[in-house]
Amino acid sequence: MMHRHRRIRELLWHLHMKLKRIFNSASKLSNVNIQKDIQYCEDTTNMHHLKPAPYIASSRHGWYWGGITSSEAEELLAGQHDNVFLVRDSCDSRHILCVSFRCVGRTLHARLRHANGLFSLNNETFVPANRISEHCAAVDVKSNLFEMPVKLARPLNRFAKLDSLQMICRFVIRQTVSAHVWSKLPLPPNLISYVSIGSDYIVPS
């Protein structure tokens, strides 16, 4: 497992450097100055340094699924045991993150309260973003939708799935290039579409 992760990190680094060379060449050949619009991360261990702080702290963890929709979360959790959960971006502009979880054979959603840079699922204990998963597994989820509080148990790990090389390349592009530059990349239209649709971790079928 450690060898596989090391190989993936090496592959991501080589892809990052290759993309950088391609974009540097493209900016010289094009009237559009792509180079100045591209947001590069020189340190691949901190690829999200241009993102908001909660995203930075969460994105390194397998329980965080980024900007997926509630429907996508329900699809991911379908068939999972009760009390399995994942953390994702909230679709409500008033909130930052929310939790989707299985309860009595269906998927429910609960927003995480945010205050002073900390998050809480029970409005009592607040933790930093990188501790959200353990916090969710330690507190009870209360709702009018069910009589008894729900105890979450295990996060759904996005790292458990081995992505294809194509998906890894897509992920690297989305993490190193600003969204408004994707259409200007020196790629075929079908690949630009592949990069552009969906979230960082899910491509619509």
Residues 86 and 169 in one domain: no
Residues 145 and 166 in one domain: no
C-alpha 113/C-alpha 127 separation (Å) is 10
Mean pLDDT for 83-88 is: 94
Beta strands in the chain (DSSP E): 84-89, 97-103, 106-111, 113-115, 118-120, 140-141, 150-151, 154-155
Band (pLDDT 50/70/90 cuts) for residue 3 is low
pLDDT exceeds cutoff 90 at 112: yes
Neighbours of 163 (CB within 10 A): 15
Domain of 102: which CATH number? 3.30.505.10
Residue 154 domain flag: yes
C-alpha 67/C-alpha 89 separation (Å) is 5
C-alpha 130/C-alpha 47 separation (Å) is 16
| Count of domains forming the chain | 2
Q: Are 122 and 141 in contact (CB under 8 A)?
A: yes
Q: Are 9 and 171 in contact (CB under 8 A)?
A: no
pLDDT in tens, 168-196: 788 788 878 888 888 888 888 888 888 88
The rounded mean pLDDT for the chain is: 75
Residue 18 domain flag: no
> Which of 32-41, 81-90, 193-202 is least confident?
32-41
Residues 64 and 154 in one domain: yes
**61 vs 135, higher pLDDT:** 135
Which pLDDT belongs to residue 34? 32
Which pLDDT belongs to residue 67? 85
Which pLDDT belongs to residue 66? 86
Range of the domain at 193: 162-205
C-alpha 54/C-alpha 132 separation (Å) is 10
Which pLDDT belongs to residue 84? 95
Which pLDDT belongs to residue 105? 87
Residues 146 and 175 in one domain: no
Residue 24 domain flag: no
Residues 152 and 64 in one domain: yes
